[in-house]
Amino acid sequence: MRRWLPSWIGMPRLDPVLLGLLLLLIGIGLAVLYSASGQDMGMVARQAVRLGVGLIVMLAISQVPPRILRLWAPWLYGIGILMLLATWGMGVGRGTQRWLDLGLVRFQPSELMKLAVPMMVAWYLHKRVLPPAWKETLASLGILLVPTLLIARQPDLGTALLVAASGVFTLYLAGIRWRVILGMGGLAAVAAPVLWFVLKEYQRNRIRTFLDPEADPLGHGWNIIQSKVAVGSGGLTGKGWLNGTQSHLEFIPERHTDFILAVLSEEFGLLGVTLIMLLYMAVIARGLYIAGVARYTDSRLLAGALSMTLFVYVLVNGAMVSGLLPVVGVPLPLISYGGTSAVTLLAGFGIMMSIYGHRKLWAKAG
Amino acid sequence: MNRFNAGSAIKDEHQERSLFSRRAKTGFLIITVSILVLLGRFFYLQVVAYGSFSTRSESNRVSVRPVVPNRGIIYDRRGRVIADNLPAYRLEIVPEKVPGSAAGLEALLDELSGLIELSEDDRANFHKSRRNYRVFDNVPVKFNLSEQEVARFAVNRHRFKGADVVPYLARYYPYGELLTHVLGYTGRLDADDIASVDEGNYRGTRTIGKVGVEQYREKELHGNSGFERVETNASGRVLDVLERQDAVAGTDLILSIDVAVQRAAWEALGEGTGSVVAIDPLDGSVIALVSKPAYDPNAFVHGISKPAYEAILNSPQRPLFNRALQGGYEPGSTIKPFVGLAGLELGLVTPGTRVFSNGEFFIEGYSRPYRDWKEEGHGLVDMEAALEQSVNTYFYQLAMNMGIDRMHDYLAQFGFGAATGIDVRGEGSGLLPSRAWKQAAHNEPWYPGETVIAGIGQGFNVVTPLQLANAVATLVNGGTRYAPRLLHATKPAGAGKALQVDSPVSVQVPVKSQRNWQTVLNGMDRVVNGLRGTARDVAVDARYRTGGKTGTAQVYRLREEDEYDDKTVARHLRDHALFIAFAPVDAPRIAIAVVVEHGGAGSRAAAPVARATLDAWLEQELPGEPGS
């Protein structure tokens, strides 16, 4: 048992199971991207480089002990909030204020919050008695609501949703009462009509389109209809890799980013979709297992919340592509083209690997 | 042991772990169920509804394509079709489907030009418009193919992958140049246009209204695109229509223009350049809006060639210029009825006030003479006589008493110096000078001499024919100023009958005394019907009684000692002839403004044009024995 004592030198602390699952997803993702991009090797290479960077970040973070990561939480959170406030005035982006131009690099503070919010809530609850009492519950809600609202304002509903979910899952795993969870759900349902008046016109159009895509099939309904056609034409077994006739040429506007699942569905059919979903569920299950064997309270909550947040990505993206949800900018984890969210995700898995590597010494599996 | 590890006495590590474990298990159960629901959705799409989305072969595709709505037809107020849709064919290329990228595209165009005449222009236009479309869109190459071209292509179709000849409805203007300056025309959709419209609704549309009513009413005329979900083979040919939602055709428009009146005015202008605007004073509807010369709008519909366009652009007579809306002219004596009314209503003169004209007017302390057109003067005249004979001295004196700012404020009520708000774009606003304007525009003070000549519509004053006609309409209907309307009624697709459009916005000019207004109208009556009227030839043998006022807009300013003579001055330096009129005098049904460029004095050149226009309208509108 002594050989598992924390040490900066020695075997890198990794979870081979999690790593294997992630590499499998990444491999499938690059293959689908090659097809979705019209066999553009350059695009695949760019994505591979980004994922490589993400994996290095993951490995680096996995070597940092959870108690050090814990010290970072308030700082990351505080800096994140400050940067979100800065986007209010000086944010850049097409019609939105998501990016902060730091001279050398452009940075999206909302991505940082995907990790900082669950870290902060876990940090806050770490020393406190669980399940949290009213005071702790309200304080935690405050911690997650401030950045959520700041991100929703940019506007970036997809990311706001993910940030809020990560915080809510932390609270859920800490054991807040079901009454409170149901109450929050009810409140959200009541707030939804109010939200309508806060939304930007393009966001309202997305919801209108979702409710009735056929009403404006050439404009706002275009993406949803085309995506459904691509998915549906895949059938049970798909048309085969590189043979997706629907998705290849004209029809899916963001076929390599948010709508890449449509390409996968067309080429690999229901079987391919099921396989991908099983992979994601395996990742989530492994994440929850890691949480179960975590050494500290905050590690447990954090690993659990990050795992469950992955589910939100998958569910929202899958529902969007199949026309169950309005178009919300949520990528398919590790498969959609784009660097920012992949790096954030892999950093999150780095935290989980650190937690696994520094797990409870006496833990019995399960 | 872990129980003692917990930092606080109340914190129960073991219980927290088991709580977490329960929550994690419940969470994973919810996740599993949600993923199963999601997979159920995919099962529905990919297995249950597979038939509706599937394609018959691997290379086939299901695509959604737009169904372009038919553009609304435009009628004149008597129901004549003035903008129609005719079936035609155009050549289109889908760049993405052409093998061999850019070089392949050039080769395809080369080969096509063996069958279909493609000028350098057509090719340049194609490359230009290509940038506005996505690679998988059909980009138009040439519109309005001849029957032979269509037939030749049909036989050789298999040779041209990515190119196709497709039927469409092309805009056609049966009256050609007669109505260009009213209707405008439709032309190829360009990048600026795309930015200004709802992209979804224009996904299949290839032309858009460029100027005139076609531009202003684009939204109504265009209609709403439909769509159809079709299965196509690899080369894009439709194999089966799976679902279809029809387009909603554009709204038909009925304009207030009367082609008969428009043509009468157009023809009466003869070879000359100029403008006629006729307005119904009862509702502000525009009966005729002529600007001459014009050009054939049909040439623009199919994409005009560069040399043809340059010929129009560089013509010295400027056919592209819409004189009725944008032409700025000195109003000359046509301003006098308005200045006269201002004097009466402001209480500076009464209908009986008389002024002595001896041929010259002086500002006290200055030696410069301001002349009457009659060298020996007109003697003692009151308002009506001053209008009848166009006595400058009367209005010099009145303007001096009034001052430029009061004149400005009163005339502004009749719409001078501001756009009328007609329902087409590009209208000029003219110029109604004031002290403040001159200070702002020229950074100079106002001089008294400028007030004097402003009284007879000279100096800084600028009006458009439309403004002038609308001011007359306001004057003769008792002071109600409408924003002139070209749109008379609309007939939405499927509607049984036409819907009258809302009455235009109006402003009421305050009436202090009915008698003042009547005095001015009497004066204008005497211009045409009086013994010394300046436009007596207008009234000959008319069934109705006309009132009017002549005017002359100086093009070339004479030195003080020079004598102006039509016959000795080069034509392009000759004065513009102006005439405003209304009829019948006792219950006006039409108000018009006529400008004949370089026509010399108003009565000779412009009055006959006015007569022809009035006749064309009143022959139809007045009850009684026609032709008597």
For residue A35, the model assigns a pLDDT of 87
Whether residue B429 lies in the annotated active site:
no
For residue A12, the model assigns a pLDDT of 65
For residue B52, the model assigns a pLDDT of 77
% of chain A surpassing 70 pLDDT = 82
Give Cα separations from B407 to A67, A300, B401, B499 (angstroms).
Answer: 86, 86, 10, 41
Give Cα separations from B101 to A41, A215, A325, B230, B597 (angstroms).
Answer: 19, 36, 38, 26, 55
pTM above 0.80, yes or no: no
The mean per-residue pLDDT over the stretch B64-90 comes to: 90
For residue B515, the model assigns a pLDDT of 94
Report which of residues B538 and A164 the model is more confident about: A164
Any idea which of A111-120, B5-14, B131-140 has the lowest mean pLDDT? B5-14
**Which residue of the set B333, B357, B390, B434 is catalytic?**
B333
**CA B27 to CA B25: how far, in whole Å?**
5
% of chain B surpassing 70 pLDDT = 92
Q: What is the pLDDT of residues B473-483, one digit of tens each?
A: 999 999 999 99
How do the residues of chain A divide into helix, strand and coil, expressed in percent and rounded to 5?
70, 0, 30
For residue B260, the model assigns a pLDDT of 95
Task: Supply the ipTM of this predicted assembly.
Answer: 0.90
Question: Residue A325: how many CA atoms within 13 Å on its side-chain side?
Answer: 19
For residue B111, the model assigns a pLDDT of 85
Q: Do B46 and A265 touch (CB under 8 A)?
A: yes
Look-up of token digits 């059919």: A269
Question: Most A CBs within 10 Å: which of B61, B67, B231, as the mutation test of the A interface?
Answer: B61
For residue B3, the model assigns a pLDDT of 40
Q: Do A231 and B42 touch (CB under 8 A)?
A: yes
A301: closest chain B residue by CA: B20
Q: Which of B142, B124, B533, B510 is nearest to B345 (CA)?
A: B510
Show the tokens assigned to B29.
Answer: 């159960």
Any idea which of A98-102, B8-12, B136-140 has the lowest mean pLDDT? B8-12
Residues in chain A within 8 Å Cβ distance of B52: 232
Q: Is the pLDDT of residue A364 over 60?
A: no
Any idea which of A113-127, A254-268, B2-16, B185-199 has the lowest mean pLDDT? B2-16
Q: Do A292 and B199 touch (CB under 8 A)?
A: no
Cα dihedral B292→B550→B256→B584 (10° resolution) = -150
B273 touches chain A (CB under 8 A): no
**CA B152 to CA B479: how far, in whole Å?**
64
